[in-house]
Amino acid sequence: MLAHQFLRHRSLGAPRGRRGHSIVEVTIAATVLMSVFGAVGVVTQRGARVSEEGISSTTVENAARRAVDRVASELTNCQAASLPLPPASQRAANLIEFQRAEGYAGGNVLLSNERRLLRVASPGDANDGLDNDSDGLVDEGDLVLIPDTSDPDSPNVVLATGVAEMTAGEIAGNSVDDNGNGLIDEPGVSFVWDANGLVVRILVTLQRVGAQGQVYTRTSETTVGIRN
């Protein structure tokens, strides 16, 4: 009987090293796990940020392209004689007035009333270097079409919002072609008329604010052939 009890107690008394993990071992394991989870979290956040940046960049690029295409469609079939733009130079105009050919009568071209495309200050955000409307953009504007300049009641048509004050990469007022596109101090909506080539060059720069507060700025550009 005593021998049985002695063997039983010996079997319960396992060596100290086999009883389980020590506090130090548990702490080390927890630290390693926390480091792994932290690294995974950083990678996940970084991936989400990159994805968000890609989406925001694509969104503003698409919006700028749509705005340029809309302007180009307006200038299609306009008459060269109706364009008051100066010949092509290093300085772009910030608005354009034109008449469109709308048909023929007796062999003569029927022209529309004068139309105007321009950038105007966004409502609630005066051009004062401040973000007055707290939308994350400073001095943004709207690209506007006035269908009939002779009619004071003609409603403005907003073609795009978030129009930047200057073309992407351009610094206002320094008389330098900062972005290397051949123009000096060009505004966020720019028109250049090449009378020799009968072409109008159009540039539209838009801005959008991403989910993290970043401002994305993109310029879209195209040219339109003009009728004689």
pLDDT per residue as tens digits for the range 120-169: 999 888 888 888 888 899 989 999 999 999 999 988 999 999 999 999 99
- Give the CA distances from residue 45 to residues 31, 37, 42, 150, 209, in Å, rounded to whole numbers and listed in that order: 21, 12, 5, 55, 19
pLDDT at residue 102 in the model = 85
How many domains, the chain? 1
Is the distance from CB of 140 to CB of 174 less than 8 angstroms? Answer: no
Does any domain span residue 125? yes
Q: Is residue 28 over pLDDT 70?
A: yes
**Residue 134: inside a domain, yes or no?**
yes
Cα 157 versus chain centre, distance = 21
pTM attached to this predicted model = 0.72
**Residue 47's pLDDT band (boundaries 50, 70, 90)?**
very low
**Domain assignment present for 14:** no
pLDDT digits (tens, 9 = 90+) for 186-228: 999 999 988 787 889 999 999 999 888 899 999 999 999 987 7
Residue 23: the pLDDT is 78
- 15 occurs within a structural domain: no
Q: Which of 73-77, 102-106, 113-117, 169-173 has the lowest mean pLDDT?
A: 102-106
- In angstroms, the Cα distances linking 209 to 96, 132, 134, 135, 212 are 28, 15, 11, 8, 8
Q: What is the pLDDT of residue 25?
A: 73
Spell out the residues 6+ positions from residue 2 whose beta carbon is closer than 8 angstroms to its own: none
Q: Could you tell me the two tokens for 40?
A: 């995974």
Range of the domain at 66: 48-225
Number of neighbours of residue 41 by Cβ within 10 angstroms: 10
In this predicted model, which residue has the larger pLDDT, 215 or 14? 215
- Mean pLDDT throughout 37-57? 57
Residue 16: inside a domain: no
Residue pair 142/119 in contact (Cβ under 8 Å)? The answer is: yes
Confidence of residue 2 (pLDDT cuts 50, 70, 90): very low
Q: What confidence score (pLDDT) does residue 147 get?
A: 94
More confident residue, 47 or 227: 227
Q: Which residue has the higher pLDDT, 195 or 30?
A: 195
Q: Residue 183 gets which letter from DSSP?
A: -
Q: Give tens-digit pLDDT for 86-105.
A: 555 567 889 999 999 888 88
Domain annotation covers residue 182: yes
For residue 7, being part of any structural domain is answered with no
- The two structure tokens encoding residue 85: 């733009």
